Structure 1
Amino acid sequence: MATHQAVKDLRRALKSGKPVRVVRGIDGADRFSAYVVGLGRKWVLLHTISATFHLDGHSVVRLRDVEHATRSGWKAARVAHRVLRLRGERPQAPAGIDLDTTTGLIDTLTRVFPLMSVHIEEIDPDVCHIGRAHGVTRRKNLRLQEISPRASWENTCSRYRTSDITRFDVGDDYIDALHTVGGSPPDL
């Protein structure tokens, strides 16, 4: 469960419009340099900053995993914010994303973005599954039609327990490149 301080950090970052370093309590999980652009009861929406100081898609992480979100310890925070402003890049949240429930999050991300990456970091922090969501079953399993790194589509759906999912990524350069080459998935 996110600490009271972590929630306070996230609210402060959302209100300030300044970038932060988001650290989560999952062994081997990525840290994020990002703007907090949405905060719900269960999920946090981040507009991520690339290593080359560009905005590069959105990550959505479980609120309960966040340990802290601060500028302290991130020496480049002020530079990143200034560079992005000078380049005319402004953080924003996609409209209508449900951050209160996992099923609502999956549904709204699927309406807004053609592909998503799904991370199950407590099981394997080094793997993500990219594809098109085909809803959540009654047993709370995400049905994901996956696309390979070669941009070829699977003809069936993989299933992932929603309770195991720790993060979603959408709209970044890599995911967009896969969609550009692979196109829309074949009908199931």
Structure 2
Amino acid sequence: MSKADRLRRAAGSQALVRIKRSPRNADRIDGIVVAVGSKWALIAHTGDGGFFEGLIAIRVKDVVTVKRDLSFEERFARTQPEWPPTAPANLDLDTTAGLLRGMSAISPMIAIEQERRFHSRMAWIGVVHEITKRWLWLRLVRPNATWRKRPLGYKLRRITKVFISDRYLTALAAIAGTGPTH
């Protein structure tokens, strides 16, 4: 069974799953698979206890295992107001540029990771400035919650994970101000 088929089966079951990915330093994703495209899978991410924490898109090719989580967290997730989690309409999971455009339309801020580029988990959080055929340009929020003046570029092919969360990312935006100044 292919990686995409395993993810599609998980999406059909609406079961809480644990997804192990490559490379080795990539974090495990816990949640409910809500959509699968040719390049990207979208997961309604759950944190400790089964609380929904946002949407995570991961590359299908990076999936190593998809295992059902048999803990109480799935039963708890089903009691949350976000249940059942669904994929946003018209989200492009077949291209990286389309995914980024769609995710940035849903949330004012996005986080990306490039797990193959660095041997540790590093996330960049910001507002999309521009998306070209090969590059994403982000206006970043610094660790001290101030805006970086100039956007930084990231090669689309190196992005391995995209994350949005109303709670987490919007809180950062509030701390940093209403948004980057142009």
Do the two structures share a fold, i.e. TM-score over 0.5? yes
- CA separation in 2, counterparts of 1:186 and 1:22? 34
| Correspondence 1:133 to 2:128 | yes
Aligned to 1:157: 151
| Correspondence 1:83 to 2:79 | no
| Correspondence 1:13 to 2:10 | yes
Aligned to 1:37: 34
User: Does the 8 A contact of 1:37 with 1:92 survive in 2?
Assistant: yes
- Cα deviation, 1:84-138, whole Å, max 9, x if unaligned, reads 2234441222232211101111111111110000100011232100001122234
| Correspondence 1:115 to 2:109 | yes
- CA separation in 2, counterparts of 1:42 and 1:184? 33
Structure 1: 5+ residue stretches without partners = none
3-state secondary structure, aligned to 1:176: helix
Mark the CA change 1:89 to 1:112 in structure 2 (over 3 Å): closer, same or farther.
closer
- CA separation in 2, counterparts of 1:152 and 1:88? 33
* 1:172 Cα deviation from its structure 2 partner: 5.2
Structure 2: 5+ residue stretches without partners = none
Aligned to 1:58: 55
* 1:75 Cα deviation from its structure 2 partner: 4.1
| TM-score with structure 1 setting the length | 0.89
- Cα deviation, 1:125-156, whole Å, max 9, x if unaligned, reads 32100001122234x11100000222211110
Query: May I ask how many residue pairs the two structures share in their alignment?
Result: 180
3-state secondary structure, aligned to 1:168: strand
Identical columns (%): 31
Mark the CA change 1:183 to 1:93 in structure 2 (over 3 Å): closer, same or farther.
farther
Mark the CA change 1:65 to 1:7 in structure 2 (over 3 Å): closer, same or farther.
same
3-state secondary structure, aligned to 1:46: strand
- Cα deviation, 1:46-70, whole Å, max 9, x if unaligned, reads 0011013200001100111011212
- CA separation in 1, counterparts of 2:27 and 2:173? 23
User: Does the 8 A contact of 1:106 with 1:135 survive in 2?
Assistant: no
User: Does the 8 A contact of 2:139 with 2:151 survive in 1?
Assistant: yes
Match of 2:66 among 59, 69, 79: 69
- CA separation in 1, counterparts of 2:82 and 2:102? 24
| TM-score with structure 2 setting the length | 0.91
* 1:9 Cα deviation from its structure 2 partner: 1.4
Structure 2 counterpart of 1:159, which letter? G
- Cα deviation, 1:23-54, whole Å, max 9, x if unaligned, reads 11212110011100111111000001101320
CA RMSD after TM alignment = 1.6
Larger deviation: 10-19 or 129-138? 129-138
3-state secondary structure, aligned to 1:155: coil
